Amino acid sequence: MPFNILVLACLTYVAILFLVAFVAERRASRGMQGFLRSPLVYTLSLSIYCTSWTFYGAVGYAARSGLEFLTIYLGPTLVFVGWWWVLRKLVRIGRQQRVTSIADLISSRYGKSNTLGVIATVIAVVAATPYIALQLQSVTLSFGAFASGTPEGWGMSGPASTGLWVAAGLALFTILFGTRNLDANEQHHGIVMAIAVEAVVKLVALLAVGVFVVWGLADGPADILAKIDASAMATWTLQPGRWTGLICLSAAAVICLPRMFQVMVVENADEAHMARASWAFPAYLFAMSLFIVPIAVTGLERLPAGSNPDMFVLTLPLAEGQGALAMLAFLGGFSSATSMVIVESIALATMMSNHVVMPVWLRLLPRSAARGDLRWVVLLARRLCIGAVLALGYAYFRLSGGSGELATIGLIAFAGVAQVLPAVLGGIFWRGATKAGAAAGMTLGFAVWAYALFLPSFGPDAVISADVFADGPWGIGWLRPQALFAVEGMDPLIHAVFWSMSLNTAAFLIGSILTFPDPVERMQGVAFVNAFDDEAQTGPLGWTRGQAEPEALLMMAQRILGDDAALSFFEVESAAQGKQGYLPDATPGFLAALERRLAGSVGAATAHAMISQLFGRATVTVEDLMAVANETAQIMEYSSRLETQQDELSRTARQLREVNERLTQLSLQKDSFLSQISHELRTPMTSIRAFSEILSDGDLPADRVAGYGRIIHDESIRLTRLLDDLLNLTVLENGSVQLTLGLANLGQMIDRALAASSHTRPERSFDIQRRMGSEEIFLTTDADRLVQVFINLISNARKYCDSADPILRIAVRQKGGRVSIDFIDNGAGIPREAQAVVFEKFARLPDDKGAGGAGLGLAICREVMANLGGTITYLPGQRGAAFRVTLPLRLEKRDAAGAL
Amino acid sequence: MRRPGPPLFLARAGYRRRRLYDVARLVPVFGAFLICLPIVWAEAPGRAVSPTVPGHAVSPDHGKAPANTAEPGLVAAQGSTARDGLYLFAVWAALIGVAAGLAPGLRHTGLPNADDARRTRD
């Protein structure tokens, strides 16, 4: 087939892809995303896992190593059918945190650390280099396979220059495709659609070749099975180490490959699509693998010995004269290579611009965050990075000689990207993972991989000299690149994977355990590990120092998101704050939202750094730290708080119950008092009225008049006393009483009180028990008021003590600065239910003695004592009524005031 | 006569859903086991009788023609490409089938936070 037609076919195919991408972008920009964002397109876009390694290399792999090629597809199958473990969480986190790449995921998880972003980027770029070289090599080989049968031969100077042309073409293609604009979400609808189309093309092409082989060249499956058993491939050597090792390696790679992360997490439109992809993507891999062995067997059987098995998919139809089928196969291989290169280089360019170029740019030109045209810078950086990635791939292709087996090159890349796996898995499942641990693990793993696998892949004496291979560096035998720690006899690939991953994981774990994360890191750790727990999503860091001008923020956002997008974002945020116009207040919530939005375009670390430049450092609030604090501590604190609250509640309830009881009693007493007081007032009034009426009638004997006059006088005295008591109480309660402080002897005061109260029921002879010695105390107080209290208490005892031989004991005690005087009689005492209310106004005990008080005495006592800075309480359990008066030795003016 | 009613169990749907999550977690474990199974019979000496296709004996000249045992130190036996291939593809298809059966149940309930995090349930 003429070489020119081949090139023309390629260009036509690319033009069709462009058209597909263009239409998809148009529809997406009009919001017509129905089909574009369907699970089918998502699943098909995941098929960029199948590169030309699968398309061409798998057949070669099968021809060389039998069924071992299946490991590369069985690992991802296990990861996808087990999506509930890892992928579900990755997708959720990716959407929550607006992650732009796997380096961004790591950087964001470990405290938005750009250092880690750089390490992950370097690993991804270096590991992708052989992989991109693989694509270049396969496209070059496929051109060669076509051209070798034509008279013009290569038509060009050789594979090296073909490789260069392919690399340049792919770079141009990717730049035109992938960096047309800087999307807010880093989602590329057009590219995803184009990849879906390419996925269909490569599947159809491979199935077509397979069907042709099974039913065209052989007589159906049974015949093929017989041929397999009869061929050189009939037996295969299952090496347990390689079998399990490669399954694990491919499982790790499907999570960590930058392009897989890009389509799986970054381009994901709906988390539910993952459920469909969990079986549909393995089914795609299944279909891709189904005819690999038949093609390999038939190729080995029919093609001349020495032909490259990597090209069987293409050379078999060519040799059988099926030009159209060969063309389809060629386009399938071309699709595999181009889709991989496009997405891989976009993913890598995003990482490089976000984690390397932008931070350096912001460091060198700090003011550009507010002034320079950043969109232009970002796009240019990405374009240059795409060029650089392809240039690196081409360099590897040239250095490695362009002759290696495709599968071997691919496995080197797999082992390289797998080095970020411990940091990723540790980051999303283990809160204890720290920045230092992740950095140590990735660096060590990467170094071991480079030393034991990547650099040796250039061949002896290319980078590492043959002496080092044989004897180790500086003659240290146990450091030989392919026999580290003197472990010999392992397969070199498994050897490198084993040591790099073991040392990587060990360094990650030890580093994490020994170091302490900073607050941002801990917060991000919580948000990532508890991605399914909405309560843990406390939101990103709070920007608490409100200094940034919203206008400056808007200008910065416009330079990254574009004018329209930035303005509408600000307008929405402003409306959410209840403001008109485009400038919301720079609240922490708004800044966090803005940071997330910017992170979707330039990565978390860069977005954080840019806002920091305008805004000063972010601070972690106490609430944030609380949220991060150990859950156990939180729960313990919470339950102890509950316990305290419960105690307090039950205490309050008890108090309320007591108060309620007292209030009920008071209300009853008040009722009974009202009838009492009206009776008390009424009785003297009635007699006064009656006698005064009699007097006013005249013509009474003089002695009668005198008698009636005395009665009227007595009754009015009684009335006056009652009214005096009431007045006294009011004054005392209002605190407007005037105290006359002076030094007084307690014993003398008690003497006075006893003398004064002796008129109360004078017919009863009380036995007064006192201890004179203890009463020799001088008090600074208002003696008259205190005596009044004593009189009240002694009179009460005289009135109510119902004992046949009444005894009143007066006991004085001095303790600290206070004196207590107990008045204890040997009567029946006060019933328990009445004790609580005896000091209330109008409280009167059932009065069978007819003592006839108004029930104000003890209330007055209580008020007096309060005015004197002391208390009066009822002492229960003394086999009689007992009252204790307590008061300070020296009453100061201010104590008196304070007691009110 | 009293008929035994359904066992008393509350929140039946939630319980079923959590068991579905358990199955979703277990599928890759079983899958890995089945995929690694060829290692076991690869190490079985002789291999006169096939464990998967009874009665199908490997012809002796296939059995002792090590195509390219690159690592002399590795002890490994030879398998039949056709038979092991069929076995692996069958396991693969079964895994896809099980995942496809589980997917609808997991799609709608799968993403809220009900099952994860610190809460442990039956």
**The pLDDT of residue A815:** 82
Interface check B2 vs A, CB under 8 A: no
Mean pLDDT of A712-723: 83
| Residue A310 vs residues A58, A322, A810: alpha-carbon distances, Å | 7, 19, 118
pLDDT in tens, A230-261: 887 777 778 888 889 999 999 999 999 999 99
For residue A221, what is the nearest residue in chain B, using CA coordinates?
Answer: B82
Mean pLDDT of A599-617: 71
Q: Is the pLDDT of residue A678 over 80?
A: no
Least confident of A517-531, A546-560, B51-65: B51-65
- Please check whether residue A434 is in contact with residue A517, taking contact to mean a CB–CB distance below 8 angstroms: yes
Mean pLDDT of A503-526: 89
Least confident of A71-85, A306-320, A323-337, A352-366: A352-366
The two structure tokens encoding residue A740: 């006359």
| Residue A677 vs residues A314, A734, B5, B84: alpha-carbon distances, Å | 121, 22, 74, 111
Residues 616-655 of A with CB under 8 A from B: 631
pLDDT in tens, B77-99: 455 778 888 899 999 999 999 99
| Residue A561 vs residues A186, A378, A743: alpha-carbon distances, Å | 11, 11, 88
Q: Is the pLDDT of residue A713 over 60?
A: yes
- Please check whether residue A131 is in contact with residue A348, taking contact to mean a CB–CB distance below 8 angstroms: no
**The pLDDT of residue A715:** 82
Mean pLDDT of A529-541: 63
Q: Is the pLDDT of residue A580 over 50?
A: yes
pTM for this one?
0.67
Nearest to B77 by CA among B89, B59, B65, B91: B65
Which value does ipTM take for this structure? 0.70
| Residue A877 vs residues A142, A797, A806: alpha-carbon distances, Å | 111, 16, 18
- Give A39 or A567, the one with higher predicted confidence: A39
CB contact under 8 A, B80 and A229: yes
In chain B, what residues touch A631 (CB-CB under 8 Å)?
A: 118
- Give B47 or A220, the one with higher predicted confidence: A220
In chain A, what residues touch B95 (CB-CB under 8 Å)?
A: 77-78, 81, 282
Least confident of A435-444, A561-570, B112-121: B112-121
pLDDT in tens, A765-822: 888 888 888 888 888 888 888 888 888 888 888 888 888 888 888 989 888 788 889 8
Nearest to A227 by CA among B82, B20, B51: B82
In chain B, what residues touch A240 (CB-CB under 8 Å)?
A: 39, 42-43, 76
CB contact under 8 A, B24 and A489: no
CB contact under 8 A, A279 and B85: no
Domains of chain A, CATH where assigned: 3-28+37-434 (1.20.1730.10), 539-625 (no CATH), 631-734 (1.10.287.130), 742-898 (3.30.565.10)
Q: b or e along B74-105 (b: 16 or more beta carbons within 10 Å of the residue's beta carbon)?
A: eebbbbbbbbbbbbbbebbeebbebbbebbeb
* Distance between CA atoms of residues A798 and A823, nearest Å: 11
* Distance between CA atoms of residues A204 and A335, nearest Å: 11
Residues 74-103 of A with CB under 8 A from B: 74, 77-85, 88, 92
* Distance between CA atoms of residues A128 and A124, nearest Å: 6
Least confident of A85-89, A276-280, A417-421, A571-575: A571-575
The partner residue sitting opposite A271, judged by closest CB among B68, B111, B116, is: B111
Q: Is the pLDDT of residue B122 over 50?
A: no
Nearest to A111 by CA among A381, A509, A437: A437
Q: Where are the domains of chain B?
A: 13-63+72-115
The partner residue sitting opposite A84, judged by closest CB among B25, B66, B112, is: B25
Q: b or e along A356-377 (b: 16 or more beta carbons within 10 Å of the residue's beta carbon)?
A: bbbbebbeeeeebbbeeebbeb
CB contact under 8 A, A283 and B104: no
pLDDT tier for residue A871 given thresholds of 50, 70 and 90: confident
In chain A, what residues touch B25 (CB-CB under 8 Å)?
A: 82, 84-85
